[in-house]
Amino acid sequence: MQRRSFIAASAAVLATPALAAPALAVTPTPFTVILDWFINPDHAPLFAAKYSGAFTRAGLDVILIAPTDPDLPPRLLAAGKADAALSYQPQLYLLADAGLPVRRTGTLIDKPLNTLTALKASGIKTLADLKGKKIGYSVAGMETVQIATMLKSVGLSLNDVQLVNINFNLVTSLQSKEVDAVIGTYRTYEDIQLAQAGLDPVIFYPEDHGVPTSEELILLSAVAGLKNPALPRFLAALKEGTAALLADPDKILAQFVKENPTLNDKLDIASWHALPGYFAKDPAALDAGRYLAYRDFLAKAGLIKHAGPLSDYAVQV
């Protein structure tokens, strides 16, 4: 990404009133963000802040890096290799339980995207219809607990279904009928992909069946970087960028696909237009009750050993 500079808002006045000193160029502050995975429409607020000039006005040179491994960003952040990293609220508690010194300081997507999805051809119309069926999952622990919670809401348990590890092959596992349903599809991506393929997805939302609402995509900062003076400027610029995105998503999209031409396809464009209602209008705002509720959910399920105070997981800078 090109480094940028901005001109100081005012210039010093020389002793001679008729002459003003030239504006001083100010070197922007580098601010590195490691994404959760490859660039995709979920990251639209970051690109909107870039394209709208919000980062430049904040005096920041924001560098976005896609990781080679989605497990790496929080660890690279903790090691001082970045100023922020993208992650997910449910994962945050596992990181804290493992002692990783990171905290949630911002949010890109403040609503859940995750779904449990079947196909109409399977005959599944309600969660109760999953009895005796195969359910595909990718992440043992977190996703199996979510499945168990959803099944409990209709009087079923994990003993009533067969769990199959499909290793993130969500769409292909449904298409090949390897499984009858999968968890981990996004309502703004795979569910759209299935619909575009004419496969009539039957979608169940975890938050409608006992799983607490969580934020899908969050920004982490290392504990050592919580007082970084660039952090609040970054969050304010991100808020400004999000407002620009919501005001004119097509304008931002045109620049996004020009810079990322491999994403100029039917699915990614549909995903882009499905996402605006999920973006946090104020990325710095913290819903304490939501974070504590999900902590308690994971503690009760035995996925975390220690239920710490809010400050162990999230702060508002």
Under 8 Å between Cβ of 220 and 103: yes
Span 5-31, pLDDT tens digits = 222 222 222 233 333 444 445 799 999
Mean pLDDT of 290-302: 98
Kindly tell me the burial class for residue 121, based on how many C-beta atoms sit within 10 Å of its own C-beta (0-12, 13-18, 19 or more): exposed
pLDDT at residue 26, rounded to an integer: 75
What's the CA gap between 260 and 147, in Å, rounded? 35
The CATH number for 6-111+215-312, chosen from 1.10.10.10, 1.10.600.10, 3.40.190.10, 3.30.70.270, is 3.40.190.10
What are the strands, taking DSSP E only, across the chain? Answer: 6-7, 25-26, 29-34, 60-65, 84-87, 102-109, 114-119, 134-137, 162-165, 181-186, 201-204, 217-222
Domain with CATH 3.40.190.10 in the chain: 6-111+215-312, 114-208
Span 173-208, pLDDT tens digits = 999 999 999 999 999 999 999 999 999 999 999 999
Is the model's pLDDT at 2 over the cut of 90? no
The CATH number for 114-208, chosen from 2.170.130.10, 3.90.600.10, 3.40.190.10, 3.40.50.2300, is 3.40.190.10
Is the model's pLDDT at 134 over the cut of 90? yes
Is the model's pLDDT at 251 over the cut of 90? yes
Mean pLDDT of the chain: 92
